[in-house]
């Protein structure tokens, strides 16, 4: 009996010693995959707290965020009407497919129609912008392109939220 206890203790101890040695080996086996996963989680976090879903995901504000991730960032056909005309939150799931990472980052930080807060996004640290792009790309393409923006004074065929 005493022997048995000692054996199981010895095994448990060996487990404790071996496990920490194994973990770094597993991590080293696929360092790129690990960095990618970290980027994707960070991108998901940034998209959530950065409010991207508020405009780019249908029904997100109305349901207090209870929209499955499969429908996130697919754009919105409810327009925003103001002195700039009518703008539609783009389908980011499609836009990341059409642009390389660098192109998308430049696009997301250059002047866009209101109410897109491009001036806030411009200030985001570059690694964070890359993480956002990688997260959105990881979701895959989905949905339809948002309607094209309209010039000032044009009448929209879709529902609009009016700033006027």
State the residues that interact with ligand HEC by CB under 6 A: 50-52, 54-56, 80, 87-90, 92, 95, 107-108, 112-113, 115-117, 121, 132, 149
Q: Closest by alpha carbon to 138, among 42, 17, 58?
A: 42
Q: Please list the alpha-helical segments (H only) found in the chain.
A: 2-29, 31-49, 52-56, 92-98, 101-108, 118-121, 126-139
- Minimum CB separation of residue 57 from ligand HEC in Å reads 10
Choose between 9 and 157: whose C-beta lies nearer to ligand HEC: 157
- Minimum CB separation of residue 100 from ligand HEC in Å reads 13
Q: Closest by alpha carbon to 145, among 76, 97, 54, 78?
A: 76
CA–centroid distance for 60 within its chain: 14
Choose between 6 and 41: whose C-beta lies nearer to ligand HEC: 41
Choose between 7 and 163: whose C-beta lies nearer to ligand HEC: 163
Residues 6+ apart with CB under 8 A from 22: none
- Minimum CB separation of residue 92 from ligand HEC in Å reads 6
Choose between 22 and 113: whose C-beta lies nearer to ligand HEC: 113
- Minimum CB separation of residue 13 from ligand HEC in Å reads 50
Helix (H, G, I), strand (E, B) or coil at 135: helix
């Amino acid at each position: 009996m005493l022997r048995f206890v000692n054996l199981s203790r010895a095994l448990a101890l060996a487990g404790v010693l071996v496990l920490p040695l194994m973990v770094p080996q597993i991590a080293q086996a696929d360092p790129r995959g690990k960095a990618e996963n970290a980027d994707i989680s960070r991108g998901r976090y940034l998209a959530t707290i950065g409010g991207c879903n508020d405009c780019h995901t249908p029904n997100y504000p109305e349901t207090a965020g209870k929209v499955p991730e499969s429908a996130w960032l697919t754009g919105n056909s409810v327009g925003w009407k103001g002195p700039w005309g009518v703008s539609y939150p783009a389908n980011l799931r499609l836009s990341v497919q059409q642009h390389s990472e660098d192109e998308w980052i430049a696009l997301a930080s250059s002047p866009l129609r209101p109410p897109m807060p491009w001036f806030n996004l411009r200030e985001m640290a570059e690694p964070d912008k890359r993480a956002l792009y990688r997260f959105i790309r990881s979701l895959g393409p989905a949905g339809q392109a948002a309607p094209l923006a309209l010039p000032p004074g044009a009448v929209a065929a879709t529902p609009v939220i009016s700033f006027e």
